Structure 1
Amino acid sequence: MAGHGRRRGLDALGYIEPEGSLEQIPHVFRPVVAAARDRLSDVFGARMTSAYLYGSIPRGTARVGRSDLDLLLALREEPTEADHKDARALDEGLDKEFPQIDGAGTLLSSRERLLSDLETYDLGWFVSCLCTPLLGEDLAQFLPRYRPDSRLARETNGDIALLLPRWRERIDGAADTDEARRPLVRFMSRHLVRTGFTLVMPRWNGWTSDLKEMAEAFGAYYPERAAQLREAAVLGYEPTGDPAVLRSYVDDLGPWLSEEYARVHGIKAPRP
């Protein structure tokens, strides 16, 4: 099989390497990151134990005017509605002020949840391997090293069946315009490509966050579905607002992925 035995994205011992760093941030995005860092301290202060960047900006692959700023905060307590409101206001302010980014999104979690046993192979892995420390303590020091194995596949994306009903509701609730549907196409395309990739990740034996590479890896094992995932990878970067695409995701590709994922890796441990 193509890709078998590769060590892409892994260290010499076969563990997934952290994929971003502050050094990789393109110069044009550095003022955005500096502003975000200052404002997070001002807004959240002692409520926050850590702040992270993730996504294309710390990977060095962000595109001016096209990429968004992605942040994750670890808070001392479970996030409140007021915390979420503060995060939304911060995101909106950054998006309005910096034309380099196309939106900003801040995820909130408690430190306790990020380090819990239930989240070790989901949010814990996300923090350890996909997030770049920006402020405060780095929780990766309390987490294990991760291999691209079936347990990681199951706990990261083994909940696709639960998501599909919510996705249908979001599609039905969206305004009947390309502009309203485009963010849904972008989000769902990316999610399905990542799910397709983690389905084959243990066999491919590596890690990548590049959607096109993910789709190619998947296609080596599921040639009959390869074209669908390649198309989804393109739409993850350059979304259209085509309603037929969204329907195909929730009526065909999504249900197929959910069944195959459960067959190969099982279903993610239920969350409270």
Structure 2
Amino acid sequence: MAETLPSRGLDSQGHIAREGSLARVADVFRPVVVAARDRIPGVFGARLHSAYLYGSIPRGAAREGRSDLDLLVVLREEPTDTDRADGRALDEALDKEFPQIDGGGTLLVGHARVLSDLERHDLGWFLACLCTPLLGEDLAEHLPRYRPDSLLARETNGDLALLLPRWRDRIASAGDSEEALRPLVRFMSRRLVRTAFTLVMPRWNGWTSDLHEMAEAFGGYYAQRAAQLRAAAVLGYEPSGDRAVLSSYVDDLGPWLAEEYARVHGVKADRPDEP
């Protein structure tokens, strides 16, 4: 019998394949990655367990001057306010020094949290499948292989209903300038497209991080909302500072998607440390 070839982001056994690697980092972004790798140990010292890249740069899909640098730093203990301030300072320094990136963000998490049962199908999956090892021991070795099933869908994006009130507050306090609204359009567009994709992911039976592919996969099952998702995918890459778009997200698309998600997959398990 012929071997089953990997497809739709899965390996030959049907598990989600790790999507990035250092080999895929384009030459123009290599100095940024090297600088991040060299500086992270000095920032976090003995508290550092490991560090990872994620996003478009390790996927080889980054655009010079348009893409940001995304880092996940795992500390031996839960991060403190000082750690978070240090992470922001690192992001700002790299962004200022390297014009080939447009901003950056360092996520800080504790070692025990990554490996906890509660986070196994959310943060654990994120590290194991969407993050590329940069420094230290790769915690993916201690995590299971993941399939694009309903459990994964529920635990990754089954909290949209909880997020929408916070989104409304952020929109209300952002002001009316395009400069202030554009990052919100980018962030919320991406989150809604990813949530819509994971809604259909078990039926589509695969994984992708490309927003356009996500929107097309979703549209194959929800034709009545396909145009909205295609438009959101475009804005996830090329955002405009349009308050009307944000209003449509929190008043129409978001509530519908949250309700349908809960109906199909259920609601994400409560996090005791979150409101």
Q: TM-score range by the shorter chain?
A: over 0.9
For residues 165-215 of structure 1, what are the alpha-carbon distances to aligned partners after superposition, in whole Å with 9 as ceiling and x for unaligned?
Answer: 000010001021001000000000000000000000000000000000000
Whether the aligned pair in 2 keeps the contact of 1:7 and 1:205 (CA below 8 Å) is no
Q: How do residues 1-272 of structure 1 correspond to structure 2 at under 5 angstroms? A: 7-272=7-272
- In the alignment of these two chains, the number of paired residues is 267
For residues 21-58 of structure 1, what are the alpha-carbon distances to aligned partners after superposition, in whole Å with 9 as ceiling and x for unaligned?
Answer: 00000000000000011110111121110100000000
SS at match of 1:171: helix
AA aligned to 1:71 is L
CA RMSD of aligned residues (A): 0.7
Q: For structure 2, which runs of at least 5 residues remain unmatched after alignment?
A: 1-5
Cα distance in 1 between the residues matched to 2:104 and 2:234: 21
Q: Alignment identity in percent? A: 77
SS at match of 2:220: helix
Whether the aligned pair in 2 keeps the contact of 1:52 and 1:135 (CA below 8 Å) is yes
For residues 118-151 of structure 1, what are the alpha-carbon distances to aligned partners after superposition, in whole Å with 9 as ceiling and x for unaligned?
Answer: 0000000000000000000000000000000000
SS at match of 1:96: helix
Q: Which residue of 2 aligns with 1:3?
A: none
Q: Which residue of 1 aligns with 2:3?
A: none
AA aligned to 2:230 is R
Could you say which structure has the greater relative contact order, defined with CA pairs below 8 angstroms and 6 or more residues apart?
1
Cα distance in 1 between the residues matched to 2:242 and 2:84: 31
Deviation at 1:218, TM superposition (A): 0.1
SS at match of 1:119: coil
Cα distance in 2 between the residues matched to 1:208 and 1:116: 25
Cα distance in 1 between the residues matched to 2:7 and 2:118: 28
Deviates more, 1:6-15 or 1:21-30: 6-15
Deviation at 1:7, TM superposition (A): 3.1
Deviation at 1:264, TM superposition (A): 0.2
Cα distance in 2 between the residues matched to 1:102 and 1:161: 30
Whether the aligned pair in 2 keeps the contact of 1:20 and 1:54 (CA below 8 Å) is yes
Cα distance in 1 between the residues matched to 2:172 and 2:48: 36
Cα distance in 2 between the residues matched to 1:200 and 1:108: 30
Whether the aligned pair in 2 keeps the contact of 1:114 and 1:120 (CA below 8 Å) is yes
Whether the aligned pair in 2 keeps the contact of 1:185 and 1:246 (CA below 8 Å) is yes
Q: For structure 1, which runs of at least 5 residues remain unmatched after alignment?
A: 1-5
* Superposed structure 1 runs of 4+ greater than 4 Å apart: none
Whether the aligned pair in 2 keeps the contact of 1:9 and 1:19 (CA below 8 Å) is yes
Whether the aligned pair in 2 keeps the contact of 1:52 and 1:133 (CA below 8 Å) is yes
AA aligned to 1:45 is G
SS at match of 2:41: helix
